[in-house]
Amino acid sequence: MTDVAMVNLTIEGRAVRVPSGTSILEAAKVAGVLVPHYCYHPGLPVAGVCRMCLVEVEKAPKLAPSCATTVAEGQVVHVHSPKSLEARKGVLEMLLINHPLDCPICDQAGECELQDYTYQEGRAEGRYRDPKRFNPVEDFGGDVMYVANRCILCTRCVRFMDDIAHDPVLAVAERGDRALIAKFDGEDLTHAWAGNVIDLCPVGALLSKDSLNKARAWELDRSASVCPHCSQGCNMIVETRDNQVIRLRPRPNDAVNKFFMCDHGRLNYRWMNRQDRVDSPLVRQHDVLAKADWEVALRVAGQLLGGKRAFVLASPNLSNEALFLLGKLVAKTGGSGAFRVVQGAEAPLPGVEDLALRADRAANVRGAELAGFVRSESPLSGMQGGEVLVVADEELAGVDATDVAKAGAIIVIGTTLPAWARHAATVVLPIANTVEEDGTFTNLRGRVQRFLQAKAAPGLARPSFLAIGDLLAEIGEGSGYWTASQTFDALAASHAEFAGLSYDALGLKGAPLAGAMAGASA
Amino acid sequence: MGFPHTPHERETLVLSEYFGVREAISLAGYKQRGGYAALDKALRMEPAEIVQIVKDSGLRGRGGAGFPTGMKWSFMKPGDGKPHYLCCNADESEPGTFKDREIMRWTPHALVEGCAIAAYAIGAEVAYVYIRGEYTEALDRMNAACKEAYAAGILGANAMGTGKTVHVYVHKGAGAYICGEETALMNSLEGRRGNPRIKPPFPAVSGLFNQPTTINNVETLVAVNHILIKGAEWYRTFGRVDNPKSTGTKLFSVCGNIARPGNYEVAMGFPFKDFLYDLCGGPLPGREFKAIIPGGISVPIQTRAEAENSPMDYEGFVANGTMLGSGGVIVIDDAQNLVKQIARAARFFAHESCAQCTQCREGTAWTTKILERIVAGDGTHEDLDTLMEIADNMTGKTICVLSDSCATPVVSGLTKFRDDFEALIKRKKVHMVPAQVA
């Protein structure tokens, strides 16, 4: 990093020291002061149009837009002085004169910056008593609908499509108070990353058609997570209501996805709410799979593995912890392990370096490789006749039935029971899906990132690391894998790539593998 | 001169000497009248010398802001390795202003010459003349003049045989008021939506195509021709003896309720009272002046007393509660409903707001609605307070000054002519309510 001159200034009486070239708004964040703003977004070019972030800078003749004004040595800035408060009050009143004030039926209510700042420092009552402007709701294509009447023309969506997505389909149409956001003729918001305009919109003007009317913002529970839909590893928030995932949203991480998330990842959540889950261990009795308790199921599974080699077909969407323990199972039995990766079209976000929806549509391809699993298009081809096939979180869709039939016995560790397993599996151990357990993924650049449990698993299903750890104990391969964190510590102790890492060290932003530094910080 | 009238004897004809003289339009006619001598002289001087002469002359921007022209030119750093650009602001969109139109109609070559001199002085090889879309006649004359100048070798890669490169391109606007704002003009020239840009960076640092750019008004550039030939000292002789800050001559466009509307050129500091009554013939028969807007619709409205006390220069108008602005004099007499005139001005600004800044986008429209409601007889006394507060919110808080310009006639009108507003409110319409609604 090159030397950057530092600038000292005072914001709301607090001394701050920031690199020269920083905006007053960003410097205020360092000082712990939030300057209310709408058009400014740290992931977008500065527009300076909402005029909400006006602050008083001593010795300056006029109020300064803090997003577009850089810090200067010795500056004294007042964010909450009467003059700046009055100006913001004025902006808020103006923003509301043509706004329908339909918060009770607006999806954004509860997470709306217009609502928040109006309650915080707006006028108690408006003075506008003339007719309001009206424009109809418009379908913008993709997952996006536009409610023009709520729009405050901050142009974040326009700038995202122009400067980040490089797909300029949006523009401000008309002038004066007739202005609104419009699509160019024949264009739609079909870019693979277009859904980000919904998050960027500070008000209820751009809404997700998918999550429309599903929940009020305050009814949602939120958990930090990592998107499991490709090897990029975008940080995300899982939002649930009554144990149902309602929506997925990006969680900022400068090292991975900045502020963004693609539509494929965002909208592909319904499997998390599947109702046809295995919610109890199952053991084959008289040719049918019957419910059993965990002790019985584990004992049967242990017996199947006794003295036999295991062939483990693992999903690259399992956590590092689960894959690590499956790797131990392979080693203990002298067997082997493989995985396959679903492929899709790569879709980059051109305005952000090294960010794309990746062709590998699985979160932990790197983790599976590090756990000793072999990537293959036909994963069962390596299985020897008579080996015990352990299928971990893989539905085996498209796999040749004759390959499966080679197995001596089949143990399924999974979230659902595919049709083939009803006939072929001897034991089924039910596990939690990604959003129902804690764990870590390793992304394609070798960044290890934690995800947290967002909802409860059904019935008797156990977190994957716990179920596999129990099975290891059953065959005499140690114990003590009671929590995801303990399991990760064991992984870090035995795999050099993970050395020095722990859940504390990873935090919620993750950390690169040893040796992955060059790739991760480039 | 008050074209189509004959010039008044008290006018000082410098820029407008050939208004109405058809022969002066062509290259031959212009050269016969001394045209292109200034460019010929300039191209054989050092750019810095030209800048110094313009500085010494005291010439200030005639577009409205009155920024010293020589100083503006000196911001352009020669030899910085970047292409420089000159933009000529011929958008002249300020209501009440039509002086640049006459310059381009009658002496298009004077503008070509002024552009070429200025471009050379600031180290630019390219000048763009951005002409208001509605000015079709001016556009045709400018295009023809450029064509003639290129054909005669005045413009091009070897301008006037000096080996210097000067290109002048004419660009037609599409009729947006905001494109007369210098940074919006640049956006428009680049093919973007005509939205003003945040300053800094200022045009001299990053302007057209993100390169150092100077932007000057038509009248300013044409004045440079005369300064180069006759000298800075000569130019300084025009103006009040006690006010060296305003020099030279100024074109005023006069319209409204006055006997002889038109363009007039007078020396800076000319008494506004004499100008209105003597040169322009005073009010229409049986009427009296009530309010005067001396510098285009964006400047504060003057009462008759203020106007009659004003010397016509930058400082003289400021001392009397307004600004020189663009020199577009709008006269309103006692037969007019002043509030209606102000409402009409506000409607114009509401229509022309580029919609970037909140206060402007919403404030101009809100102001218009309230004013039109008052005119229609549905106003209240609270409306007047609201108008003043909206105006305060619209002043000094936005990217450009369109918002401030909308607030200006409202504030000056309400401050100086409050009785007119109150009279309308007192005459408030009584809405008949049916006796039996149910």
DSSP 8-state assignment for residue B213:
E
pLDDT, mean of residues A266-287 = 96
List of chain B residues whose C-beta atoms are within 8 Å of the C-beta of residue A158: none
**pLDDT of res. A518:** 44
* A347-348 and A356-357 beta bridge pairing: antiparallel
Considering chain B, what is the average pLDDT of its residues? 95
**pLDDT of res. A379:** 87
**pLDDT of res. A399:** 80
Residue among B263, B233, B232, B328 at smallest CA distance from B11:
B263
Q: Which two tokens stand for residue B251?
A: 């074109």
Residues shown for chain B: 438
The answer to whether the Cβ–Cβ distance between B357 and A97 falls below 8 Å is: no
The residue type found at B188 is S
The answer to whether the Cβ–Cβ distance between B355 and A51 falls below 8 Å is: no
Q: Does A171 touch chain B (CB under 8 A)?
A: yes
Q: Please check whether residue A325 is in contact with residue A469, taking contact to mean a CB–CB distance below 8 angstroms.
A: yes
Residue among B196, B224, B202 at smallest CA distance from B214:
B202
Strand order across the beta sheet in which B249-256 lies: B262-267, B249-256, B328-333, B289-293, B302-303
Bridge partners (DSSP) listed for residue A310: A388
List of chain B residues whose C-beta atoms are within 8 Å of the C-beta of residue A63: 396-397
Q: Does A97 touch chain B (CB under 8 A)?
A: yes
Distance from CA of A13 to the nearest CA of B (A): 24
ω into residue A61 within 30 of 0, thus cis?
A: no
Q: What is the pLDDT of residues A302-319, one digit of tens each?
A: 999 998 999 999 999 999
Considering chain A, what is the average pLDDT of its residues? 95
Distance of CA B127 to the CA centre of its chain: 19
Q: In chain B, whose CA is at the least distance from the CA of A53?
A: B397
Phi, psi of A353 (to 5 degrees): -65, 135
Phi-psi region of A225 (alpha: psi -120 to 50; beta: other; left: phi over 0): beta
Distance from first CA to last CA of chain A, Å, rounded?
12
Sole residue written with tokens 């460019």: B39
**pLDDT of res. A521:** 40
Q: Give the model's confidence band at A519: pLDDT under 50 very low, under 70 low, under 90 confident, else very high.
A: very low
* Predicted complex: ipTM over 0.85: yes
DSSP output for A189-220: S-STTTTHHHHH-SSTTEEESTTTTS--GGG-
Residues shown for chain A: 522
The answer to whether the Cβ–Cβ distance between A177 and B359 falls below 8 Å is: no
Dist CA B288 CA B282 (whole Å): 9
Q: Please check whether residue B420 is in contact with residue B337, taking contact to mean a CB–CB distance below 8 angstroms.
A: yes
DSSP 8-state assignment for residue B280:
S
**pLDDT of res. A396:** 87
Q: Is A476 exposed, middle or buried (0-12, 13-18, 19+ CB in 10 A)?
A: exposed
Q: What is the pLDDT of residues A447-477, one digit of tens each?
A: 999 999 999 999 999 999 999 999 999 999 8
In the predicted structure, residue A92 carries a pLDDT above the cut 50: yes
Distance from first CA to last CA of chain B, Å, rounded?
68
Residues ≥6 apart with Cβ < 8 Å to B133: B172, B173, B174, B175
Q: What is the pLDDT of residues A222-270, one digit of tens each?
A: 999 999 999 999 999 999 999 999 999 999 999 999 999 999 999 999 9
**pLDDT of res. A478:** 80
Q: What is the pLDDT of residues A19-55, one digit of tens each?
A: 999 999 999 999 999 999 999 999 999 999 999 999 9
Q: How many pairs of residues across A and B have Cβ atoms under 8 Å apart?
A: 89
Q: Give the model's confidence band at A479: pLDDT under 50 very low, under 70 low, under 90 confident, else very high.
A: confident
**Which residues of chain A from 286 to 305 reach within 8 Å of chain B, CB to CB?**
none
* Segments in chain B below pLDDT 70: 1-3, 430-438
How many helices and strands in chain A, by DSSP H and E? 15, 26
Residue among A317, A468, A306, A326 at smallest CA distance from A388:
A306
Closest by Cβ to A91, choosing from B176, B359, B369: B359
Residues ≥6 apart with Cβ < 8 Å to A406: A380, A383, A384, A385, A386, A387
Burial A294-329 (b: 16+ CB within 10 A, else e): beebbebbbebbeebbbbbbbbbbbbbbbbbbbbbb
The answer to whether the Cβ–Cβ distance between A51 and B361 falls below 8 Å is: no
What are the C-alpha distances in Å from B426 to residues B327, B335, B413? 36, 19, 18
**pLDDT of res. A82:** 96
**pLDDT of res. A345:** 97
**pLDDT of res. B438:** 47
pTM score: 0.94
Q: Does A85 touch chain B (CB under 8 A)?
A: no
Query: Dihedral of the CA atoms A344, A350, A352, A355 (nearest 10)?
Result: 10
In the predicted structure, residue A144 carries a pLDDT above the cut 60: yes
Q: Give the model's confidence band at A2: pLDDT under 50 very low, under 70 low, under 90 confident, else very high.
A: low
The answer to whether the Cβ–Cβ distance between A176 and B397 falls below 8 Å is: no
pLDDT, mean of residues A203-214 = 97
* A511-512 and A447-451 beta bridge pairing: antiparallel
Q: Which two tokens stand for residue A63?
A: 């109020």
Dist CA A141 CA B102 (whole Å): 51
Residues ≥6 apart with Cβ < 8 Å to A502: A485, A488, A489, A492
**pLDDT of res. A517:** 52
Burial B412-425 (b: 16+ CB within 10 A, else e): bbbebbeebbbebb
Dist CA B52 CA B57 (whole Å): 9
Q: What is the pLDDT of residues A161-181, one digit of tens each?
A: 999 999 999 999 999 999 999
**Which residues of chain A from 322 to 381 reach within 8 Å of chain B, CB to CB?**
none
**pLDDT of res. B432:** 65
**pLDDT of res. A140:** 97
